[in-house]
Amino acid sequence: MATRWRNSVTWRWVVNICRFILGATFVFSGFVKAVDPLGTSYKIQDYLTAFGLSELVPDMVPIALSVALAVLEFGVGVHLMLGIKRRATTRLALLIMIVMTPLTLYLALTNPISDCGCFGDALVLTNWQTFGKNVVLLICAIVVFITPWNMVRFLTKKMEWTLSNYSVVFAFALAVYCLATLPIIDFRPYRIGNNIREGMVIPEGAKPTVFDTRFVMEKDGVKQTFTIDNYPDSTWTFISAETVVVEKGYEPPIHDFVMEEMETGDDITDDVLDDPGYTFLLVMHRTEEANEGNIDLINELYEYSKEHEYKFYALSSSSAEAIELWRDRTGAEYPFCIMDDITLKTIVRSNPGLVLIREGMILNKWCDSQIPDEFKLTAPLEELTLGQTKEVNDLKTLGWVCVWFLVPLALIVLIDRIFNKKNNNKNNNKLIKRSMRKKIVAGNWKMNMNLQEGVALAKELNEALAADKPNCDVVICTPFIHLATVAQFLNQDVIGLGAENCADKVKGAYTGEVSAEMVKSTGAQYVILGHSERREYYKETPEILKEKVLLALANGLKVIFCIGESLAEREANQQNEVVKAELEGSVFNLSAAEFANIIIAYEPIWAIGTGKTATAEQAEEIHAYIRGCVAEKYGAEVADNTSILYGGSCKASNAPELFAKPDIDGGLIGGASLKCTDFKGIIDAWKK
């Protein structure tokens, strides 16, 4: 019942809908983090501060984590969207959501920070909204984790590694570029083209949030906090400043842009925002952390602003002592204003960064490595395009990002499709030359007979068939311990040798497992995969079987792949849906060239070892349906050359009737293969 449910069309739709919801969210979250890695690092620093860990973590750790998070989320999202490495990806996605969901519940309950920052400034959610979102994503992650093989794949497996690396490299390159310059898309209220004054407007009738700027000052070794109303005299030394919420109300996009002259403490915000001339704002949220690599350029820009009578202010949240040290080191003569640290980090993601405004309008921004030099400042700003509002088009920028990601991606997919089409054509040409599909009788010994008994039976079969040549291919599939020894006694021109199973891993610490390479090294040519007993007793899923099939083919083994329905599924008339789902889940991902090495064994589970046998008509009907599924996937010629065996209590007495049907190409024999006379009786059915 569970197998039928997990392979149903409805469930596959549910899995793929959840997969795209989860994938799209991860892609979006990773993208906004890659666009603004400094913003993410600030949020990580907020987390560290809230949990009392900020002093223990080096400054570079939050930046490194922000880039790593962007790459991880974007990569997982792309993997989910395209169906790359489905088992590993769904496990990783579930692990992420298992960690994040309780964490966001804790944040919602304790509220140490107001916004978790999962979508940066692109989409600000409350902590409770974030928790609700994560609950939905956790459910989606659980759904895709249960049956990852139901996720539709858009690329062949061999292209997965290339595309996996490509998505990671792309996200990393984007994050590093935005870290070295400025975010290519600015989601903050201080974006180019916005007017600071307009961003501070409160709608009529709305109750404003009351903010207060607190100043930490020091005198005679004693630190004290002041407000603008009781700002002390010059005998006090400025330490730091921050803006706090006194009373919650409507918050305009810009609510904490306040410029206080360092020397006098005067508020010059209105003077600056109302000035019809140009004003350069040199933003250094902490002078002690600012990059000094372009100091000469900044000083030259200050001289340029004085020459043309433009205003120039440096904005910082550092102490007066730290600012004086900056002046001593750099020779800075420009005036400083004190502003809230968070506000400064929001205005421009660079330390230092430069902003050009006019009547409160933000005309342009530069990171410290892109500050305009003498070659660009060749005339007054009024005469330069530099003095005009820089054109910003987020849709155009996003379009270019998509081009840089999707064009190489499309080329990869195109090359993949062309390559596979050529392989398919080559394979089809070879198939045309074959006169007919092979007739096969394969014995599955299962867990029977010790080594000596197995060798004795192999010798007896070898002698019997050497004396009386069969009219079909004969294969015996033995337990692992028999393979190497039995191979020494078989004439493999007459009897092929196969294993009953192989591992879904190449090699490693997997005690008790036997790899496809090991099977091949014994001299075996075949391997049985997907047997109903393996599916039921050892919970082998379609995804596990897919890996086994690929490894078996990679090691030159022919695969006898078993499919079939249970009694309940047969009685519900769902046998067609079941066998098609099993094919789609494990072998229909193969190219036509790879599929040429697949032998299908239809085994009605209700007829294995029970003595019950499907009638010849029942068997033919579903064999024909299976061949039709192969034709639908690979074409008629591939289907016509695919051997499909019957595997349900086939005996010498019913084999001739079964084998006479046009779509039954032989049998996968269980108990009747353990005695030479019984097995040969079935083989001889091809002579009747």
Q: Cα-flanking dihedrals φ and ψ of residue 232, to 5°?
A: -80, 175
- Mode of pairing for the β-strands spanning 526-529 and 598-602: unpaired
- For the chain, give the number of residues: 688
Is the separation of the CB atoms in 113 and 125 below 8 Å?
no
DSSP 149-176: GGSPPSS-GGGHHHHHHHHHHHHHHHHH
Q: How far is CA 476 from CA 490, 499, 524, 669, 680, in A?
A: 10, 8, 10, 9, 12
Catalytic residue, from 260, 565, 603, 620: name it: 603
| Separation between Cα atoms, residue 151 and residue 23, nearest integer Å | 12
Count Cβ atoms below 10 Å from residue 40 Cβ, excluding itself: 24
Is the separation of the CB atoms in 38 and 63 below 8 Å?
yes
For the stretch 287-318, what's the b/e string if a residue is b when 16 or more beta carbons lie within 10 angstroms of its beta carbon? Answer: beebeeebbebbebbbebbeeeebbbbbbbbb
State both tokens at 471.
């009219």
Q: Closest by alpha carbon to 338, among 412, 423, 241?
A: 241
| Separation between Cα atoms, residue 158 and residue 141, nearest integer Å | 25
3-state helix, strand, coil in the chain (%, to 5): 50, 15, 35
Q: Closest by alpha carbon to 390, among 403, 381, 379, 400?
A: 381
603 in active site: yes
Count Cβ atoms below 10 Å from residue 121 Cβ, excluding itself: 20
Of all helices (H) and strands (E), which one includes residue 536?
helix 532-537
Rg of the Cα trace of the chain? Answer: 36
Catalytic residue, from 285, 531, 565, 594: name it: 531
Helix (H, G, I), strand (E, B), or coil: what is residue 242? strand
Q: Closest by alpha carbon to 59, among 289, 301, 248, 341?
A: 289
Q: Closest by alpha carbon to 311, among 355, 352, 357, 280?
A: 280
| Separation between Cα atoms, residue 334 and residue 311, nearest integer Å | 10
308 in active site: no
Cβ neighbors of 57 (< 8 A, separation 6 or more) are 48
Q: Closest by alpha carbon to 428, among 643, 595, 584, 553?
A: 595
| Separation between Cα atoms, residue 399 and residue 289, nearest integer Å | 35
DSSP annotation of 439: P
DSSP annotation of 301: H
Is the separation of the CB atoms in 73 and 65 below 8 Å?
no
State both tokens at 88.
């590993």
> Tokens 């990580």 map to which residue?
44
Active site residues: 531, 603
